[in-house]
Amino acid sequence: MHDAAPIQAFPDHAHDHASCVAEALATAERICNERGVRLTALRRRVLELVWNSHQPVGAYDLLGELARGGRRAAPPTVYRALQFLLDQGLVHRIESRNAFIGCAHPEDRHVVEIMLCSQCGRAAELPDDRIASAVRAAAKRLGFEVQRQTIEVTGLCAECRTAPAGAAAERS
Ligand SMILES: [Zn+2]
Ligand SMILES: [Zn+2]
Ligand SMILES: [Zn+2]
């Protein structure tokens, strides 16, 4: 992972989210091109919907959103689109919620460590793979090979920690 990589953290509630979405879609198009895989219209639309906010979105919600947008897609088609996005590292699955969030630095293959804010419901990545490395090393000493690990931490984002009570109702 190079230093210049943008790191997804909890942005201000007032940030310009449209530019997050625009950047995510532009990055997705670029890396799919580089990898020689196709970002079809449906895959792009699903990615856009996952990026609708910084809150994890479930597959059922995605299906509903697609139907509302007049693009009714069969669930298996949507699951395949999601699987494509997962395989390309464009989205991450939040295991504990069975939901998805967009990745802001999909060009770098990385261990996924998720912070979940229990107040505003947003998710962000913890840009630090030392936990994952420590688990892998400790497991290896026991002769265990890690295939998949889920690191999800629940807490309060910086903004919610300092927000006055009641402000949490305002969701981004
Ligand atoms: Zn944003
Ligand atoms: Zn990521
Ligand atoms: Zn929060």
pLDDT digit string, tens, across residues 1-30: 444 444 557 888 889 999 999 999 999 999
**What is the span of the domain harbouring residue 24?**
13-106
Q: Please state the φ and ψ torsions of residue 45, each to the nearest 5 degrees.
A: -65, -40
The pLDDT of residue 165 is 61
**Which SS3 state, helix, strand or coil, does residue 32 take?**
helix
Q: How far is the CA of 18 from the centre of ligand 1 (A)?
A: 7
| Residues 131 and 47 reside in one and the same domain | no
Q: What's the number of domains the chain is made of? A: 2
| Residues 97 and 57 reside in one and the same domain | yes
The pLDDT of residue 1 is 42
Burial of 98 (0-12, 13-18, 19+ CB in 10 A): exposed
| Residues 83 and 136 reside in one and the same domain | no
Helix (H) or strand (E) holding 75: helix 75-87
| Residues 102 and 117 reside in one and the same domain | no
Q: How far is the CA of 106 from the centre of ligand 2 (A)?
A: 6
Question: CATH code at 76?
Answer: 1.10.10.10
Contacting residues for 141 by C-beta, under 8 A, at least 6 apart: none
Q: Is the pLDDT of residue 164 over 80?
A: no
Asked if residue 92 belongs to a domain, the reply is yes
| Residues 49 and 83 reside in one and the same domain | yes
| Residues 67 and 140 reside in one and the same domain | no
Asked if residue 36 belongs to a domain, the reply is yes
| Residues 120 and 132 reside in one and the same domain | yes
The pLDDT of residue 144 is 96
Give the ligand with the smallest distance to the CA of 88. 2
The pLDDT of residue 125 is 92
Asked if residue 2 belongs to a domain, the reply is no
**121-127 mean pLDDT:** 91
40-87: per-residue pLDDT in tens? Answer: 999 999 999 999 999 999 999 999 998 887 777 788 999 999 999 999
Q: How far is the CA of 110 from the centre of ligand 2 (A)?
A: 6
Q: Is the pLDDT of residue 170 over 70?
A: no
The pLDDT of residue 12 is 85
pLDDT tier, 166 (very low <50, low <70, confident <90, very high otherwise): low
Contacting residues for 84 by C-beta, under 8 A, at least 6 apart: 37, 43
Asked if residue 1 belongs to a domain, the reply is no
Asked if residue 5 belongs to a domain, the reply is no
What Rg, from alpha-carbon coordinates, does the chain have? 17
Provide the residues around ligand 3 (an ion) whose CB is within 5 A. Answer: 117, 119-120, 157, 160
| Residues 128 and 90 reside in one and the same domain | no
93-115: per-residue pLDDT in tens? Answer: 999 899 999 998 899 888 889 99
Q: Which residue in the block uniquely carries the two structure tokens 């990055």?
A: 27
pLDDT tier, 167 (very low <50, low <70, confident <90, very high otherwise): low
